[in-house]
Structure 1
Amino acid sequence: MAEIDWAEARRYLGLGRNGGPADPALDERLRSCGAELTAAARPRWVWRPFPLELGEGRVSCAGMDIESAHLRRHLEGCTGAVLFAATLGAETDRLLRRAAVTDMSRAVILQACAASLLERYCDQCCREIGEQAAGEGLYLRPRFSPGYGDFPITFQRALLEALEAPKRIGLTATGAMMLTPAKSVTAVVGLSPDGRYTRPGGCGDCGSCPRTTCPYRLE
């Protein structure tokens, strides 16, 4: 199972890009919350490759016709795409809800740990996909999720259905297209014969994003 990135968890707590100054008391709480979270989490994931068609400001994949200039630009040069979904499980949501009722400060720390653990887990899963893709001479682009840029979040349910995610990993979407369990991710991952534009996970267009002061920005 993936492990929590403690510096990243500190960033999710708003302590800056480098995780802020050393704080032994906070670090102790982070480790305690992280151990509790890791014990509760039941991570699962699913993925499936699909043909890809790129048009003018649009992307067609798995029966979805997506009008999104940002996603189209992100997939430039790709010959196919992987649809991907991962979750830390309903047990994680229950832990976070209990903490929100009994100890709000602990709930905030648990949320930060969960965000980091989910990101590391997604990276781990995508590395496995990348190893398989490499056998076909293909490289993975970073994940690009519904709700990023102008990729409408309304495609959340269609993506889940294409993956059979409700049946396979228990991941669904609400009427407002929020994922359930909440600590989950869905994404489109481009498959490209050119490895020059690949980079680790995180925001799909992080390198070209104008938000240069974002504390989560990849260097």
Structure 2
Amino acid sequence: MQIVLKNVTHHYQDRAGEVVTPVCNIHLTINSGDSLAIYGPSGSGKSTLLFILGCLLRPSQGEMHLDGHSLLHYGEKELGELRNRKIGFMFQMCYLLPTLTVKENILLPLWIQKGRERDNGAGQKVVKSLLEQLGLGDRADFLPYQLSGGQRRRVAMARAMVSDPELILADEPTAELDEGNKIFVGKWLGQQAAKNKIVVIATHDPGLATYAGKVYNLSEGQLHEKALDKEIASV
């Protein structure tokens, strides 16, 4: 997979009627196996950029190309199909459905793609494997309220991976986690890039940024690649 952003800008009006431009004239090329951390403080536009990469938000200007094809004229149905097939999204909030079990929450993307009644058991095997990888093998039939915060985050990680996406987008995936869970999430995301997937992480956590192959700072709408030096790591 290759993703190319060409002159991407996004702006909107805030409640006071002022024009806000969280991303401005961004040019970026990402290839399979790349892992990126978009680093910056809250409100700097990191989530906006991830939403554009995830085809959840259309830029006000510029284009996104996927494997050489411009998405400029894709309709909502086409974008939805693209997201289901190729993109796994870890939102800042886990958004687990409270009445579904852990296993059912993870299976949900497959049910949307194929229909629950057509599940031939392959999805069940994938879920079982993911739960074991993420240390949740004995939590398959638990409801979200019965899990710790770190466990709920791992369920969200499994749900993002159940369709074997080529692109993984993680928006502040270590928010409100303890140090042990932060390390687990960082290592796990790094392992996905090693499987030839694209991983893009939006974070203000300097520790998490160290697990990415490249670090970009997003400030005043501008994206700049930089080394994760001691100055960043000590923030």
TM-score, normalised with respect to structure 1: 0.31
Between structures 1 and 2, the one with greater helix share: 1
TM-score by length of 2: 0.29
